[in-house]
Chains A and B, each alone.
Chain A
Amino acid sequence: MVDRDDKKREPSATREASVPDIDPDAPPSADEVAASECLRDALADPSVPNHDAELARSLRAAFAPAAIAAAAHDDIVDDVPTADELALADELRAALEDLGGGGDNGGDEPDLVRALGAAWRPGEIGKTDHDALVAKATKDLAASNSDNEGAKIIPFARRRAGIAAVATGILALAASVFLFITTSDRSGLRPSAPLARARSTQPLFGEPFKAGDQSKPGDASARIDKIAVARASDYRDNRFRKWGVR
């Protein structure tokens, strides 16, 4: 029980009025039951808003403050910009201000920012710049044409023409004889076997290939090698048959 003198030392009349003198063991009213359930839920789940629970938690924090969770602390530390980050942020800000002026500041981030801007809203090429490019290109075209025009044409003397005609005639005759001999030789070697045709490579393997199978490292490379060897062999055979050597 509380001493009457102690009661006199209670801080204010307001507090006395707001905290009715209830027997702790008196049966609860319906309002009290509802309020107590709210407090119970709020204490169990901090996300539930409740003034009494907040008060309870502040009491607990003052009495036995808990350590901050490592992950939460890491997040806070991560949120604080480092000196480097501040410097880079400042550089990026300066580069962004300069973008309108067409500056080409170095650095990865300004480069990327410029690339994003160029992809999203590409600007026009300046007329003077473009005129200069076209002027250079057309000048190059004129230069390449004048090179062609500048090639010397050697006049063909009548006597030389006669010599050339005789020489050409002899060469043509020799070539026709050579052609006759080689084709008549080859006619006996015409391929009788058909050429290898395009076909599936599946018969080269005992089991179907499973893409992404990690249990057999190098399986894909071995398979490709086998296919390449088979294809090379087909190709070689076809060439030989076409040449008539098989």
Chain B
Amino acid sequence: MADASAETRDGVITRTPEEAEAVQKRRAEADAIDRELVQKAQAGDRTALGELLHKYGPGLYRSILLPRLGNKTAATEALAETYAKVVANIGKFVWQNVGFYPWLRTVALRVALDQLRAKKRLVLFEEDDLAREVDAAQTETPVEQQLSDQRDREAARRKVDDALGEIHPRYARAIRLRILEEKPRDAVATELGVSPATFDVLLHRAVASLKKTLGRATEGRDSDG
């Protein structure tokens, strides 16, 4: 696929004129198909709606909902709620030549924001982050889902990096090796020069430290508000 092989830098895809033309043509074809599916879904065609959801839903789950809500259960609930809102509002959707995905993404972000507000769990993303993303979603969602997904995942990783930057480097390293890179416990213990049992304690302290940092940031914002 030309999209996948396109060179990306700072979230901007650079293409040769031929590639750009091919991408544009393919997008126009995909848009035509989506537009027809949307029209059918608006007329009550279940199969058409199913096709749209199968096409875009898994990406939405992986790039938006799971990273922002923090666990599978919450993300699956949010996806179900997103679909319910799509069913309820598909009749109001007006095709605006940017495709179906930006609208779907905005719906999902709003659902995720509502979930964060309702549950008050300690997760990496906070209400403010989601609120900003919802505001920006109206104008800044790329038409291509692939690019949009890439940006969303990069934003999630930046959030992780920022959070780890707030704690002691040794704690950050323990979390990075064991949780993010998913290296085996014994291997990480060896890498950090401690016994596996001591590493368990080190990791617990690392996570406790991160929790404290995130909690402090939240409290700071709450008291400012």
Known: A118-B72, A130-B54. 19 other contacts (CB 8 A): A85-B205, A86-B201, A93-B203, A111-B122, A112-B207, A112-B211, A115-B124, A116-B163, A118-B69, A119-B124, A119-B159, A120-B180, A122-B61, A122-B153, A125-B76, A129-B76, A133-B79, A137-B49, A141-B90
A96 in contact with B179 (CB, 8 Å): yes
B62 in contact with A125 (CB, 8 Å): yes
Give the residues in chain B near A133, CB-CB below 8 Å.
53, 57, 76, 79-80, 83
- A81 to B195 alpha-carbon distance, docked (Å): 14
State the Cβ distance, B180 to closest chain A Cβ, in Å: 5
B46 in contact with A138 (CB, 8 Å): yes
A112 in contact with B122 (CB, 8 Å): yes
Q: Given contacts A119-B67, A124-B62, A134-B83, are A108 and B50 in contact (CB under 8 A)?
A: no
Q: Given contacts A119-B157, A119-B159, A125-B79, are A114 and B71 in contact (CB under 8 A)?
A: yes
A141 in contact with B46 (CB, 8 Å): yes
A120 in contact with B157 (CB, 8 Å): yes
- Is B192 in the interface zone, CB < 8 Å from A? no
A118 in contact with B53 (CB, 8 Å): no
B76 in contact with A88 (CB, 8 Å): no
* CB contact list, A6-45 vs B, under 8 A: none
13 A-B residue pairs with Cβ-Cβ distance under 8 Å, sorted by A, are: A89-B201, A90-B200, A116-B163, A117-B179, A118-B71, A119-B125, A120-B157, A121-B180, A123-B66, A123-B72, A134-B54, A138-B46, A144-B44
* CB contact list, B64-88 vs A, under 8 A: 66-73, 75-76, 79-80, 83-84, 86-88
Q: Mark B172-200, 1 if CB is under 8 A from A, else 0.
A: 00010011101001000000000000001
Q: Given contacts A112-B123, A136-B80, A141-B41, are A118 and B70 in contact (CB under 8 A)?
A: yes
- A180 to B87 alpha-carbon distance, docked (Å): 46
Q: Given contacts A137-B87, A145-B44, are A119 and B156 in contact (CB under 8 A)?
A: yes
- A119 to B156 alpha-carbon distance, docked (Å): 5
Give the residues in chain B near A141, CB-CB below 8 Å.
41, 44, 46, 49, 87, 90
A109 in contact with B76 (CB, 8 Å): no
Question: Could you list which residues of chain A lie within 8 angstroms of chain B, going by C-beta atoms?
Answer: 81, 85-86, 88-90, 92-93, 96, 102, 104, 108-109, 111-125, 129-130, 133-142, 144-145
Give the residues in chain B near A92, CB-CB below 8 Å.
200, 203-204, 207
Partner of B58, one of A88, A104, A124, A137: A124
Q: Top 8 closest A-B pairs, CB basis?
A: A115-B70, A145-B44, A89-B204, A137-B83, A138-B46, A89-B200, A122-B66, A119-B156
Give the residues in chain B near A117, CB-CB below 8 Å.
179-180, 182
- A116 to B69 alpha-carbon distance, docked (Å): 10
State the Cβ distance, A131 to closest chain B Cβ, in Å: 8
**Which label, helix, strand, loop or mixed, suits the secondary structure of the B interface?**
helix
Give the residues in chain B near A119, CB-CB below 8 Å.
67-68, 70, 124-125, 156-157, 159-160
- A85 to B40 alpha-carbon distance, docked (Å): 58
- Is B121 in the interface zone, CB < 8 Å from A? yes
A137 in contact with B204 (CB, 8 Å): no
- Is B208 in the interface zone, CB < 8 Å from A? yes
- A89 to B201 alpha-carbon distance, docked (Å): 5
Give the residues in chain B near A88, CB-CB below 8 Å.
204, 208
State the Cβ distance, A220 to closest chain B Cβ, in Å: 12
- Is B141 in the interface zone, CB < 8 Å from A? no
- A135 to B50 alpha-carbon distance, docked (Å): 7
State the Cβ distance, A37 to closest chain B Cβ, in Å: 37
- A85 to B124 alpha-carbon distance, docked (Å): 23
- A122 to B62 alpha-carbon distance, docked (Å): 6
- Is B210 in the interface zone, CB < 8 Å from A? yes
